[in-house]
Amino acid sequence: MQTIKNTLTLVLLFFATVSSAQSTVETASEAYRSEDYKRSIQLYEQVVAQQLSEGKESAEIYYNLGNAYFRNGETAKAILNYERALLLNPGDSDIRHNLRFARTRIEDKIDTSESFFLTTWVNSFKNLFNSNTWATIAIALFIAFLSCIATFLFVRKVWIKKTAFYIGIVIFSLLLLSNVIAFSQKNNRI
């Protein structure tokens, strides 16, 4: 009976914490809609601090915080939060658009030369997905690679063995590539 009470208490505390964070986000969103950007920034910063203390991060919260900073005229902090959101969710086109737009508002622009087209292409390919998605792709490719090995070992027809072998090589190469990209993105977040 005591363990049931303890478990119930823990569950209620968990939902109270989640509910508290959710109500803070809703209050911050309401402050943003009513154009009280300073209040919205304070509330979103509280949510970020709470999430960081719990070991969590949210691209949506950083995006909203970036919007509030931008509306408040603090472009540098807006860019910082857009970049944080982009690290967590590199495939989000809204984050990319707002980041590009905020960068056009910088007064002291540093003229950077255009990067080599191949570098741009590789970076855009890497940023198609976040590190967790790349890791999931790697796991799926590993399973496909194992099935190619099994096919190669247990099928008697030579043409099927050859096909499984060559497909296995391609899948293994893609597996290595997705692991390298996932590792690279994970290290860039730190």
Instruction: Kindly report the three-state secondary structure assignment for every residue of the chain.
Output: CHHHHHHHHHHHHHHHHHHHHHHHHHHHHHHHHCCCHHHHHHHHHHHHHHHHHCCCCCHHHHHHHHHHHHHCCCHHHHHHHHHHHHHHCCCCHHHHHHHHHHHHCCCCCCCCCCCCHHHHHHHHHHCCCCHHHHHHHHHHHHHHHHHHHHHHHHCCCHHHHHHHHHHHHHHHHHHHHHHHHHHHHHHHHC
pLDDT at 121: 87
pLDDT at position 7: 54
Which tens digits make up the pLDDT trace of 42-99?
999 999 899 888 888 888 999 999 999 999 999 989 999 999 998 888 888 899 899 9
Select from 3.40.190.10, 3.30.70.3000, 3.40.50.300, 1.25.40.10 the CATH code of 2-104: 1.25.40.10
pTM of the model: 0.60
- Angle formed at CA 178 by CA 92 and CA 98, multiple of 5 degrees: 15
Region for residue 60 given its phi and psi (left: phi exceeds 0; alpha: psi -120 to 50; beta: otherwise)? alpha
Band (pLDDT 50/70/90 cuts) for residue 2 is low
pLDDT at 11: 44
pLDDT above 60: residue 107:
yes
User: Residue 185: what pLDDT?
Assistant: 81
Average pLDDT over residues 23-31: 88
CA distances from 149 to 32, 137, 164 (A): 56, 18, 7
In the predicted structure, residue 22 carries a pLDDT above the cut 80: no
118-171 pLDDT, tens digit per residue, is: 888 888 888 888 888 999 999 999 999 999 999 999 999 999 999 999 999 999
Identify the pLDDT of residue 127.
Answer: 81
- State the pLDDT at residue 166: 97
